[in-house]
Structures are given as structure tokens and as C-alpha cells.
Copies of this chain bind each other. A is one copy, B any other.
Amino acid sequence: MAEKFEKLSRISVPELDEILGVPFKVLDDGFVRVIDYLGSDQAVVQAARVSYGKGTKKVHEDRGLIRYLMRHQHTTPFEMCELKLHVRVPMDTWRQWVRHRTASINEYSTRYSIAIDAAYTTAPGEWRLQATGNRQGSEGKLPPEQGAHFTEREAQLQSLAREVYEERLQAGIAREQARKDLPLATYTEAYWKIDLHNLLHFLKLRMEPNAQWEIRQYANIIGHEIVRRWYPLTWEAFLDYQLQAESFSRLELELLSKIVQDKWEECVKLAEEFGWLKRRDGRLVRNRERLEFEEKLARLGIQPPWKEEE
């Protein structure tokens, strides 16, 4: 151990210290608060450099190293950082949230304490319609005049549910049983701790348009308000190499290759072989994989070769 080690001070991030404990409001009565954290961009770099040994300190500068790690999915240095949040979330949303199994959780116990007296409510203009293309999404909204009815019915149901709950408690029924008919919209609270690698994975899944609107509101706050402040370099790299990146499958690459080489006929022929261009009554049958590819082409400013024939 020839090396001399200096005494260290803890890594801290003043931008994050400033908002420690301060709630960011989400939905009508939810919030996200940072309770504590471990690490920073600098800690990611520090951990990565253990792997690369002493000799490399000058070669990469921090930003370049972080971008390299993110681009090549060298994920372990990002695991070296932790974020501890206090969140208040409707149970319905929480059901999705807890499916991320790599986090540590302490949730408010309705066996031990009386359930939080608040449920997530829906304004007349906020009733979303079932998506037609995507069986698990929503698109558009009910007109507020029509929504008003459902908002009223919601209030009626939530109020009865609370009334029944409190009636049970009054009669001495155990809290663990009294709660059984609370609506899924009832708020719960929890401490939620996760490392940065797994947090980014959570954000990637929950910030994307397919995620349910409610959990997206939480993910956006955590990403744009917290991680951005905490890890400016990692956040930028995450946006560039993950959130705003695009993966092309083997099939898509083959088609794209034909397109960029102006071999449109070969491209169409290939797409037919893939089964993407089936027709019924002369019109292209809906094919999910083809539609996804067309969206990627649109981002590149390209028309698919089969478009004109439609």
C-alpha cells in the first residue's frame, strides 16, 4: 500500500441541498420530496475510475466519461448513487410504482394507523377516453359538461367509502379489515429509496408516452426537477443516449439501408417478406411493427416507400 490516502469530505450537491425536504406538488394532493441522497456526477466518475486504475485520470474528462458510461451501458458506477424520496401517491398509481423491485420502501401502514383521509379526484374536464389503437392507453377527453356527471358520481362514491370506513372504525372493527373497501384512489405515503441506475430505468419506462398519465406526472417531476439538479451531466447523457435515443431492429436496419441507398423497390419487397404490407380490399392492413417503423422514419424526415401506394 504505497499509496497515501487523504481524508475525504462527503460529496454534496448544493443545488439539491437547497430543495431538501421541500415538496413538489403532483396531482391534486400528492407530492414528491427529497429526503436525502448519496453521490453526484463526481461520485459516478470516482467509481468508474476505480475500474480503470490510476493511470487514466487525465485521459477522460468527467463529462466525456459519464457520456461514455451511459452510451455503453456501463451501469455499475451509476449504482453508486442513491436517492431517498418521500412521496404521496394514489394507491392505484402506487400499484404500478412498486413493481420496480430494486427499490427500498417504507409505506404508511393502514394496519397500524388510520388511512389517509384523501382520495385522488377528477375534475370534469379530466376524464380521458379509451384509446382505440392502443388497448392500454387513453386519448382525448370527455367534454367537461359530460364529465361533470362523473365527477359528481366519483365524489358520491368516495364519500360513501369513507363513511363506511369510519363507521367500521367506530364499531371497533380492526383497521386492517376496515380498510378493505377503500377506493384505489386513496392516497398513501412512502419513503422510497433507489440507486441512480435503477432510477433512470424507472424514469425511462415511466416518462414515456405509453405510461399512464398519473405516474408520468411523478416521473417528470423526479426527472426534470430532481435528477436534473442532482446530476446535470448524467441527466444530459441520459436524455441523449436513452430517453431520446431510438433502437432500430435488424429488420428496420435492413429496410433503412435500402431506403438510404434509394433502393425503394427492394425495400418494399423486403417489407412484404416481413409480412408488414398485407392488404385487404387494396388497403394496407394495420401492422403494429410497420407503424412503429414509420414513426421512426418520420423522425428522420423520410416517407416510407409504400406510402404513396396507400
Q: Give the interface of A toward B (CB within 8 A).
A: 1, 5-12, 17, 20-23, 25, 29, 31, 33, 35-39, 43, 46-48, 50-56, 67-68, 71, 76-77, 79-80, 82, 84, 86, 88, 90-92, 95, 98-99, 101-102, 104-109, 111-114, 118-120, 122, 127-131, 135-138, 142, 146, 150, 153-154, 156-158, 160-161, 164, 167-168, 171-177, 179-186, 189-191, 193, 195, 212, 239-241, 244-253, 256-257, 259-261, 288-289, 292, 299-302
Name the residue on B nearest A90 (C-beta).
B180
Name the residue on B nearest A114 (C-beta).
B53
Minimum distance in angstroms from A165 CB to a CB of chain B: 9
Residues of chain B within 8 A of A91, CB atoms compared: 95, 184
Of the listed residues A90, A122, A300, the one surrounded by the most CB atoms of chain B closer than 10 A to its CB is: A300
Q: Among B8, B109, B114, B131, which residue has its beta carbon within 8 angstroms of that of A136?
A: B109
Q: Among B86, B160, B257, B288, which residue has its beta carbon within 8 angstroms of that of A160?
A: B160
Q: Are B301 and A113 in contact (CB under 8 A)?
A: no
Name the residue on B nearest A150 (C-beta).
B168
Q: Are A10 and B17 in contact (CB under 8 A)?
A: yes
Q: Among B127, B176, B193, which residue has its beta carbon within 8 angstroms of that of A212?
A: B176
Bound-state Cα–Cα, A43 to B37, Å: 12
Q: Among B20, B46, B88, B127, which residue has its beta carbon within 8 angstroms of that of A10?
A: B20
